[in-house]
Amino acid sequence: MANILAERIEEVLRPIVGTVLASVSVDLESKRIGKDAESITRLDLPVIADNLSLQLKLVIGPDLARAAAQRVRELA
């Protein structure tokens, strides 16, 4: 993964959901907005964060999902 922003999103998620799910989440959310992980930009972060919050709440609970999404938003 060459995109530093995608790497930073993964770094935010890794301690919360683990390495594999962090990587899969970045790939999935990138595709959900019509891009790949290497082409996302700071302008994409709000949408990616919103989607992550929705998708992760079933896995880690709504509070932790919101906190993770906020940390992703703050990367902008």
At residue 2, the pLDDT reads 61
- In one-letter notation, the amino acid at residue 33 is I
> Domain range holding 48?
4-73
- Using pLDDT thresholds of 50, 70 and 90, give the confidence band for residue 76: confident
Please give the tally of structural domains in the chain: 1
Entry pTM: 0.90
